[in-house]
Structures are given as structure tokens and as C-alpha cells.
Structure 1
Amino acid sequence: MIDFVTLKYYYDIFMYFTLAFVILNLFHAFTLRLSDEKNIKFLRSSGVFLLITVTLYLGLRPVSGEEFGDMGVYANYFKGYVAGANVTSTKDVLFHYYMRFSASFIGVHGFFLLTEIIYIFPMYLISKVYFKKYWFYSFFMFIVTFSFYTYGTNGIRNGLATSIFLWALCYKDKKIIMILFFILGSLFHKTLLLPIIAFALTFFYNNPKTYLKVWLFSIPASLLLGSVFIALFTSLGFGDDRLAEYLTGSIQSDTRFRWDFLFYSAFPIFAGWYFIVKKQFNDTFYNQIFNTYLVCNAFWVLVIRANFSNRFAYLSWFLMAIIIIYPLLKKQFFNNQQIIIAKVVTAYFAFTFLMFLIYYADKN
């Protein structure tokens, strides 16, 4: 366990560590071309170092409900299972059976390390499967995503479920395996049904321009009829009782219309529009994940004033990194494309870092 780091500065250290990596990657991009063998070796060694370091740093963090939110709750559940308690929860039952099974052979710190491995490994795997020797860039984008740290240390069930979704996408040509992973992920967190349904829809209709219009329409619809959509989704029983509590307000949080998060959500939408429409990038799988993002993010926009709407936003945000970087790692669009990639990573991280400096600083 990493107990030599002051809990108050745990997130700070992570942020400055990733900042150093971003700067190093930016400067490195000006020295070697993308396909240069020296660059490939640098990417491989940097990626492995990043994978191991981040997994251990987050996985071996001290158990704290104060600094890591839901971690304290899960630690108490785990201790109960170690003592021989049975699973009584009827919500996201597979996660509880996973805890109970883990309690039979590892301690609480081992459990959180294992959980972090399951959270981060699919980000590495999907990067490796789709981008081969350039996998570092995609994996690094996942790491510097604004929501990465939060769902690795606090919203753990949601983070695991969406990572299992990414794992499923690694088997797009093996539909049975992909479906099994989807089912597994939904049993970890029921709200994963939204991206699963959205992705399934793309097999029947996959035109990005239509989905983009739906997303654009969701903004004025939310501004004018947001409370109606919140009531509608609640009455339909989407998700589970916990989701209904968030929607109806029995649990309280900030319920403003989050223009800052909407702006952030638009990053991959602009990227998708730019590459698909302006650059005529034609890739069926890319269209599918882009359209899945649009559907899930449109749902969040419609209920943006609901309590804890960031939990709905993450049902699309977990796809942001791969949507933004995918075309740049699949096709040559620019001269010195490695510089463009490094600048994109830097700009993407800039929002995360600014939120760290401004938003989270106000909370401390």
C-alpha cells in the first residue's frame, strides 16, 4: 500500500505526473517522425511504464472514504464478506459476488489493486487491438481524460462497467464474445444498458449526420423541456432505484445547466464531425462508436439538470479519448502528424488540468 503519500495530495501528484508526461510527449514529437523506429521504441517503453505506474499508484492507494468517496463503502462491504457475510444486495449483483469471491483469497488492498487492473487493462487492450504499434497515444488519452481518476477511485462500479464495455469492443468480429462482455458489464452496473442499446442501434442505422442532428436537437429540448424529460425517464424506470433517486432529487447535488461540461462533451463531437464530414474519413467501426457517444451524450443533455448528472455524462465520456484519437492513428491526414497528435493530447489534457486547478481547487 502507498501510505507515504499524504492523502490530500494524492490527486495532485497524479495530475502533475501526467502533466510531465504530456510535456515530454509534446517535445518528443518534434524530434522524430511518427513511423521512426526510435519513436516506436519510445512509445512502447513509455506506454508500459505508464500502464504499470498508474495501475499501481491508483490500485495501492490507502483505503479512504473521505478522499476517495465510495471506496470506503466498498471496503466495508468487502470486510463483511471476509467475515463470511452473504450477498444480500439485489442491485448490480455481479459486483457484490465479485467482492465476495475476491474476499476468499485476497485482502482489501489486493481487492482494490485487482479492481484497478480490471479498470485500466481494457483501455490498454482496446488501444493495442486497434492501433497496434501506436497504442501509447490512445492509452495515454484514456489516462488524461477528465473522468479517468474519478471513476478509478470513487465511482468504481460505473468505471468497471464501462471498461468492460471497452473490452467488449475488442471483439467486434466475434459477436458472441462481445455480447457476453456486454452482459457482464451490465451486471456490474445497470446503467451500462444505455451505451449497449446505443451501440446495438448502430448495427441497424449508422449514419453519423442523423445522430449528430439528434444531439444538436437535445440542447434546446433540454433548455425548454428538461424537467419533462427527467420525469419521463424516471417514469419509464430507466436503470434502477438509485438512478430514479438521482433524477427525482431525493439525493441532492448541483442542478445547474452545465455549459462547461457541455463544452467539454463537444470535443469528440467536433472531432467526429471534422474527420467524417470534412476529411471524408470512412470507417464503419468509428462511425459506430461516434454514434454511440452521440446517443448517450444526448441522453445526458436531456437530463443535465438532474442530480449527479455527471454519472450519466460518464456513460458517454468514457468513449471520448478513442473517438478523438482514432482517425489520427488510422490514416495520414497531415504532414508531421506526430506533432498534431501531441498537440491534440495536450489540448485534451488542458481541460482536465484546468478543472483540477480551478474547479477542484475551490473544493479544497
Structure 2
Amino acid sequence: MFDWIPVDIYTDLQYYALFLIALLILFHSFSSDLHDSENIRFFNIFGVVFMVIFTLYIGQRQVNYRFGDTVNYNKAYQMLLGGGEVVIVKDYLFNYMMVFCSKFMSVRGFFQVVDILYIIPVFLFSRKYFGSYWFFAFFMFVSSFSFWSYGVNGLRNGLGTSIFILGLYFYDRKWLMYACFVAAYYMHASIIIPIAAFVVSGLYRNPKVYLYIWLASIPLSLAGGSAWSGFFANLGFESDRTEGYLTGGSEEYNDQFSQTGFRWDFLVYSASAVFAGYYFIFKKKITDPFYIHLFGIYCIANAFWVLVITAAFSNRFAYLSWFLMPAVIAYPMFRYKIWDNQYRIFAVILFLYFMFTFLMNVIL
């Protein structure tokens, strides 16, 4: 569908499109009232059109090395199309889904199905918790630093996190929520980290403790260095390609993650959501049980990443908390009256949030 777009500009093109939309929201916030019914109607219609085009654009990409593991998934899929046998020993849901799809659709069709499943939970979550203003939350999700990457490269990780978000969509229907968590785990086993964070923060709902856990992880990481990577690898996180993520076991992983060592830039990025949660809960006295639980999941899961931050390719672990950043930052701003000119302040925050994405993925 989009094969006419040169593959070498395919990814950057969507970032420039997102940049224009972020600018549109920013300019609109300084000139219009978001609560006006016509404005709400416009962004709802625009949001649906944007979601459809974005879903097709990411799903109908070409099979090319510029999209990372798209090439490797294609190789496995072509083997299935050719009648090859596979032995499935992990990530059962994703792998059996691939086997099932290979019986009646092409690899491009499979990638489209994966990305529909990747994006729909984000849409549902945004619709439920942000109501008429769902587009702004949805845009914040899809314009996040790693969202595109996990839709074209780390497919299993990305799909696992989206199904986890679907579980949060069913937060008030516990059996469906836990079913989604189980499905997310069998999509990619790394989802055990946010699941564990969900359980811990659910059993002990004290946001001060979540904050202390996150803050403590920084000096512990600085003091322990690579020892934490080895420790978690020995606990069993070495399965599949995870050992390479933690210990830098091959050049492949080091090439994919251009800089190792203590990533202060990514720590500051992560801290923005921690600060947002701190500000809303402790300064603005937000006592929403769901939001406090969400803040706990983020802090605990992100603390795990901080401990292994020096590992090669540790951004794979960072995404196990980063995927919740838009919800942690934006949720209170569309559920509670916090400031005068709240829409304008949100638009500025959204623009700055996206500019980190643009800076890291396009400019640098």
C-alpha cells in the first residue's frame, strides 16, 4: 500500500507527520477552547482517521533491514509458508498465532494483524479513561519514544505490553484483566516484570514506597554496576535473547544499542513520569486508586530497568515501564481540574514529550 514511499525515509516521514500534529495541538491550545463541542467533534473525527492511517502505515511497511527484526520475523514466516516445521518452547501465544496466520495469509497480512492488535488496546484504554478527549492520550502513546520501534522491530515485546494495557482497560473486571495479563506473558515472557509490579503495588498501595523504591534504585545501580545484570541473568532472565540484552553477549546487541554505560539521558526521560506522579499525588492530592496503582506499576518496573541500566540493549527492559508513561503523565490532566488553562499546559507538555522522541529518533 505504501511501497511507493522510499524505505530510507519511511520511518522519518511518520515522525515528521507526528511533529506536525503535535504543532497543530500546540497552536490550537493557544487559540481555542478544547471544551467547545465543535473542537471535541473535530478531534474525535480526526483521531479516528489518524488511527486508521497510522495502523495501516505501520502494518504495511516493506520487509527491510531498516525495520529491525521485521526481517527475522519474515524469515521465520517464509519457512512456515514453505511447510517448515517449528518447535515452539516459549512465547506460545505469539508463535502459535504466527503458525495459524501462515495457513491463510501473507507475511504482510501477518504484520498488519500484529499491528492492529498492537494499536487497538491503546485506543480502547484512551477511550475509556479519557472519554471525549481520547485522541490526546492516544496521540501521546503513539508518539512516544519507542512506540514505533516496538511495532516494527520488537513485535513480541510491543504486543505483550499492549495486551497488558488491555488488561488495565478491564481494571474493573478482574477476571478479564488477569486473562489479559496471562495472554501478555505468553506473548512475551518479559511482561512478567510489569505483572509483578502490578501485583506488588496492588498489595501495598503506598505511593511514598513506590517513590522510595525508584529513588533507591539509582544509587544501587551506580554502586552495583554490571553486577546487577549478571545477577538477574542468573535468576533466569537469560532466556531467548535476554542474556544478550543484559550482558552484551554478542556484537549484534551492542550494534543495536549504540551507547552503553549509565544512561543519564534515559534516566531523566524516565524521571519525567516519576515527577508527574509525585506532583499529582503529593502536591495536587490526587487520590484516585487506579492512578496510584498505575504510578506504582511504573515506578517498580522502571526501578528494575534502572538497576540494569548499564547493560547493552537495556532499553528492551526500559520499555517494560516506558509504555505506561503517557498514562502516568496525562491521566490526571483529563480527569481532574488542576490548573487554569489546563489544555494549554497539557499541549506544551505533550509537545515537549514528543520532542524527546523527535530528537532521539530523527535529529540525533
- Residue identity in the other structure for 2:152: T
Q: Is the 8 A contact 1:190 1:239 kept in 2?
A: no
Is 1:272 aligned with 2:271?
no
Match for residue 329 of structure 1?
334
Trace 1:1-364 onto structure 2 (pairs within 5 A): 1-64=1-64, 66-238=65-237, 240-252=239-251, 253=254, 254-359=259-364
Amino acid at match of 1:213: Y
CA distance in 2, matches of 1:286, 1:230: 30
Give the superposition deviation at 1:241.
4.2
Check the 8 A contact 1:190/1:240 in 2, yes or no: no
Query: 1:83-141 deviations in whole A, cap 9, x for unaligned?
Result: 22333131312211111111112111111111111111111110001111110111010
Q: Report the alpha carbon displacement of residue 239 of structure 1 after superposing the two structures with TM.
A: 6.2
Deviation at 1:333, TM superposition (A): 1.0
Alpha-carbon spacing, 1:147–1:160, altered in 2? closer, same or farther (3 Å): same
Change (3 A) 1:307 1:47: same
Distance 1:301 1:45 in 2: 40
Judge conservation of contact 2:198–2:293 (CA < 8 Å) in 1.
yes
| Whole-Å separation in 2 of the counterparts to 1:188 and 1:239 | 17
Whole-Å Cα distance in 2 between the matches of residues 38 and 334 of structure 1?
Answer: 23
**Residues 92, 187 of structure 1: 8 Å contact kept:** yes
The amino acid of 2:291's aligned partner reads Y
Q: Name the SS for the 1:327 alignment partner.
A: helix
Paired with 1:161 and 1:107, the residues of 2 have a C-alpha distance of 22
TM-score normalised over the length of structure 2: 0.95
Give SS of 2:226's match. helix
Q: Unpaired segments of 5 or more residues in structure 1?
A: 360-364
Question: Matches of 1:203 and 1:295 in 2, distance apart?
Answer: 11
Contact 1:26 1:342 (C-alpha < 8 Å) held by counterparts:
yes
Structure 2 residue identity aligned to 1:334: W
1:292 maps to amino acid: I
Which piece of structure 1 moves more, 263-272 or 350-359? 350-359
Conservation of the 8 A alpha-carbon contact between 1:34 and 1:337: no
What does the per-residue CA deviation read over 1:14-67, in whole Å, with 9 as the maximum and x for residues that have no partner?
111001101111111223323210121022012112101110111111111x11
Alignment partners' CA distance in 1, 2:197 and 2:48: 33
SS at match of 1:168: helix
CA contact (8 A) 1:195 1:316 kept: yes
Any conservation in 1 of the 2:15–2:362 contact (CA below 8 Å)?
Answer: no
Q: Quick one: which amino acid aligns to residue 18 of structure 1?
A: L
Q: Is the 8 A contact 1:168 1:177 kept in 2?
A: yes
Q: Deviations over 1:312-361 (max 9, x none)?
A: 000000001111100001001112211112111111111111113433xx
In 1: Cα distance, 2:265 partner to 2:232 partner: 24
For structure 2, the residue ranges without an aligned partner over 5 or more in a row are none
The one-letter amino acid of 2:329's match is I
- Which sits farther off after the overlay, 302-311 or 34-43? 34-43
Q: 1:190-232, CA deviations, whole angstroms, 9 ceiling, x for partnerless residues?
A: 0000100110112210111111111111111111112222222
Cα separation, 1, equivalents of 2:345 and 2:190? 35
> CA 1:303–1:89 in 2, change beyond 3 Å: closer, same or farther?
same
Does the Cα contact within 8 Å between 1:202 and 1:288 map onto a contact in 2? Answer: yes
- Say whether the 8 Å CA contact 1:33–1:336 is kept in structure 2: no
SS of structure 2 residue aligned to 1:30:
helix
What displacement does 1:244 show? 2.4
Q: Which moved more, 1:77-86 or 1:220-229?
A: 77-86
Structure 1 length normalisation: TM-score?
0.95
Deviations 1:131-169 (A, max 9, x none): 111101110100110111111111111000000000111
Deviation digits for residues 169-193 of structure 1, max 9, x if unmatched? 1111111111111111111110000
**Letter of the aligned partner of 1:323 in structure 2?**
V
* Alignment check: 8 A CA contact 2:207 2:292 kept: yes
Deviates more, 1:283-292 or 1:240-249: 240-249
What root-mean-square deviation, in Å, do the aligned CA atoms of Structure 1 and Structure 2 show?
A: 1.3
Q: How many residues align?
A: 358
Give distance in 1, aligned partners of 2:363 and 2:120.
30
2:248 touches 2:313 (CA, 8 Å); kept in 1? no
